[in-house]
Amino acid sequence: MNRPAVFLDRDGTIFKDTGYPGDKSPIDFLPGVPESLRKLQIDFQLIIISNQSGVGRGIITHDEMKRVHHKMIEKLADEKIKITDSYYCPHAPSDNCVCRKPKPAMIETAAKKWGVNLSQSYMIGDKLSDVLAGYHAGCKSILLGKDRSAKENHIKRPYPHFVATDFKSAAKWILKDAKLHGV
């Protein structure tokens, strides 16, 4: 079954970005996220794709990052949101690994594992690296917030497909676009 997915950046997209979250860091949803994810999960697999360079930079341990991530997944489950899977890159930018966004490897790995139709899928993120990862994987990309560099690049390139002021407007756009294209 080739069910489409919404690939989600984590920090700054579904949860407030607290820098490099540790075990005691607060985990708070951004406005409109829980209700929007509940709507999206009806038609889409929800897959988290996240760079976590705090591990590679030595700011947090791998185990600490996993514990924080587990708490976030539990918080989503408490809101009746099922995350199909999650992928993260623990490397520092200087490592030049194959998995770090803007490279599409994490999205492509998830697509292969879960039978995702990438041409009918979406990537939501708050940074240009999120948008580029989705674009290079063959998804439509949505930029959250006011990242000037992505807006300027949008003039020259075919991405992002949509710039949303918040998660709720991104989800509305996805549902409208999917319906328009028969997803």
Tell me the three state secondary structure of residue 123.
strand
17 is catalytic: no
**Annotated catalytic residue 78:** no
Q: How far apart are CA 151 and CA 163, in angstroms?
A: 8
Q: Which of 76, 100, 96, 77 minimizes the C-alpha distance to 88?
A: 100
The one catalytic residue among 9, 126, 130, 147: 9
CA distances from residue 75 to 15, 71, 72, 79, 81 in whole angstroms, order as listed: 10, 6, 5, 7, 9
- Non-local (6+) Cβ contacts of 146 within 8 A are none
CB contact at 8 A, 117 and 98 = no
Task: Tell me the sheet residues that pair with 5.
Answer: 45
Alpha carbons within 13 angstroms on the beta-carbon side of residue 82 total 7
Residue 79 in contact with residue 38, Cβ under 8 Å? yes
Annotated active-site residue in 11, 126, 130, 147? 11
Catalytic sites, residue numbers = 9, 11
